[in-house]
A and B are shown apart, each in its own frame.
Chain A
Amino acid sequence: MKPNFLFVAWPYMALALFCLGIVGRYLLSRKQMAAVEAKLPDAWTVFGGSKLWRISLVLLLLGHLAGLVFPHGILLWNGSTIRLYLLEGFAFTVGVVALGSWAVLMWRHLERSGDSAAAEFADTVFLALLFVGLLSGLLMAAFYRWGSSWGAMTLTPYAVSLLRANPTAGFVTQMPFLVRLHIFSWFAAVAVVPLTRLAAFIVLALHRCFGLMGRPVIAVGRAAEAWMQRHDPAARIWPEED
């Protein structure tokens, strides 16, 4: 595939697939939220995993987010060799823990049998993409040292260019295969999420969010109705009818 597709079009396509998929699932199931809620324990069994899995995944996401939001801070931190070793060592350990936890999760997932073959397939594809993302990240750290520093100089500007709707693929296309695979696999994982059981969490969160957002509107409507009842404007508009 051409680099322009992989690093210019594909990220937006993945995000569009994610958004459309989640909205589609929400529209299909908005009147059956109880059924969606009933699926949560099942989804948790598949993706919840151990405490280590969840912590390591959150730490990895926060680390990537920090690189995106505070690239200069990361570079400043890495200005000292000791701190660079600390950060990279910590990130690598977290990555190893995440990969180990993923293996346990996948083992349990393969042992159990679900009721929907399609959901099982989507879950497996998503977990496989997570594996590719984690493994490529670890191999990158091992073979291309100090990714937290060079990533802040190359991958952060790329991510920023994506957010600004002006993608600069040049930052990534010259990178080694593992770096490109890492980026591609994470976008692919995002695109697959709506097809997995994990989507139930997002759909329910969206439903509750809409519910919360709707409350002020309902409250205003009720207040307006009460005011209308107290100060009946009809009497002022058509007094002769009294």
Chain B
Amino acid sequence: MARTTTYSERLLRSAMLLLVLVTLASEIQRANAQDDDSNPVGAKFSPDAMATFNKRCSACHTYGKGIKVGPDLKGVTERRKREWLLRFIHGSSEVIKSGDPTATALFAQFKQQRMPDWTDLSEKQINDILDYLAGGGPDIKPLDERNADLATRAEIETGRQLFYGQMHFKHDAQPCATCHSVQGSGLRGGSLGPNLSSVYFKYQDKALTSFLRHPCFQWDSSATSYLTAKESFALKAFLRQVALQQPTNTAIAAGRSEGGSNR
């Protein structure tokens, strides 16, 4: 025999249905907002290339600081052909012996000091080093150290989404809005920590970069990763954007730009 449901039962079922719908809707929203971090900006050279350069090349070569033992390597990928560089780095003695005019001239110019034959380096490793030098070599700043005024609109938007938790941090850090708010965040921002509307102008790029490399709360002492360089830069860019929207800070920024930017 069919049993009639009471009012409270219907109310409970409706509440449960609403809860399920809300959960589903927010999961869909979250899935749409997932960050695609597969091609991080700034990763145009292998990280190993920098290490290899520092270990094997920097003892005798500089990058833009003049001659040391060997030639300055700034612009070397433009001065010489890639194929020649590959041959020379892999076995300079053979190239010199073969009577190659460039190699012979260099040998004479640098007091007949021959570069070691890096036969243990693969073609890929040498190419990686050359890519690293072509991209700016030791002059390349880590992505998060770039000044926030270089950020694109997309990076600022990424920072906004990370701040409010609409996009999730790669290493599960909590969104800044959990504890902080900024001008215009309304109720979405938390109020445990200070308002960050003017934090960019207070601390500037260098201090903010340094701060963003450490977690606010040591949730897990074994954790080694916090924010990726891309996330850190995006947050910094968003905080700069927010700071610029403050009437007093706009005047400060205008004064700074007149005096030249600090890049």
Q: Complex formed: what's the CA distance from A98 to B192 in Å?
A: 24
- Of the candidates A75, A144, A175, which one forms a contact with B190 in the assembled complex, judged by CB atoms under 8 Å apart? A144
Instruction: Tell me which residues across on chain A come within 8 A of B174, comparing CB atoms.
Output: 75, 149, 153
Q: With A75-B174, A150-B178, A154-B217 in contact, is A82–B22 under 8 Å at CB? A: yes
CB of B171, distance to nearest CB on chain A (Å): 14
Size class of the contact patch on chain B:
20 to 34
Q: Complex formed: what's the CA distance from A145 to B30 in Å?
A: 22
Q: Complex formed: what's the CA distance from A239 to B188 in Å?
A: 89
Q: Complex formed: what's the CA distance from A145 to B147 in Å?
A: 32
B140 is an interface residue with CB less than 8 A from chain A = no
Instruction: Tell me which residues across on chain B come within 8 A of A171, comparing CB atoms.
Output: 217
Tell me if A's interface is mostly helix, strand, loop or mixed.
helix
CB of B68, distance to nearest CB on chain A (Å): 48
- CB of B168 within 8 A of CB of A143, answer no
From 179 to 196 in chain B, residues with beta carbon under 8 angstroms from any chain A beta carbon are: 179, 187-192
Q: By the criterion of a CB under 8 Å from any partner CB, how many residues of chain A are at the interface?
A: 22
CB of A90, distance to nearest CB on chain B (Å): 11
Tell me if B's interface is mostly helix, strand, loop or mixed.
loop
- CB of A150 within 8 A of CB of B188, answer no
Q: Nearest CB to that of A75 among chain B residues?
A: B174
**Chain A, 158-181, contact with B by CB distance < 8 Å: what is the 0/1 string?**
000000000000010001100000
Instruction: Tell me which residues across on chain A come within 8 A of B191, comparing CB atoms.
Output: 143-146
Q: Complex formed: what's the CA distance from A95 to B174 in Å?
A: 26
Instruction: Tell me which residues across on chain B come within 8 A of A73, comparing CB atoms.
Output: none
- CB of B187 within 8 A of CB of A145, answer yes
- CB of A80 within 8 A of CB of B30, answer yes
A221 is an interface residue with CB less than 8 A from chain B = no
From 34 to 75 in chain B, residues with beta carbon under 8 angstroms from any chain A beta carbon are: none
CB of A174, distance to nearest CB on chain B (Å): 10
Instruction: Tell me which residues across on chain B come within 8 A of A82, comparing CB atoms.
Output: 22, 25-26
- CB of A80 within 8 A of CB of B190, answer no
Q: Complex formed: what's the CA distance from A143 to B165 in Å?
A: 21
Instruction: Tell me which residues across on chain B come within 8 A of A86, comparing CB atoms.
Output: 22
CB of B160, distance to nearest CB on chain A (Å): 14
- Of the candidates A79, A153, A157, which one forms a contact with B165 in the assembled complex, judged by CB atoms under 8 Å apart? A79
CB of B93, distance to nearest CB on chain A (Å): 59
B29 is an interface residue with CB less than 8 A from chain A = yes
- Of the candidates A79, A83, A85, A145, which one forms a contact with B192 in the assembled complex, judged by CB atoms under 8 Å apart? A145
Q: Nearest CB to that of A152 among chain B residues?
A: B174
Q: Complex formed: what's the CA distance from A233 to B189 in Å?
A: 80
7 tightest CB-CB pairs across the interface, nearest first?
A: A80-B26, A149-B178, A146-B190, A144-B192, A145-B191, A145-B190, A153-B217
User: Can you list 18 A-B pairs, Cβ within 8 angstroms, ordered by A?
Assistant: A78-B178, A80-B26, A81-B26, A81-B165, A81-B188, A82-B22, A82-B25, A82-B26, A83-B22, A144-B191, A145-B189, A145-B192, A150-B178, A150-B179, A150-B192, A153-B178, A154-B217, A175-B192
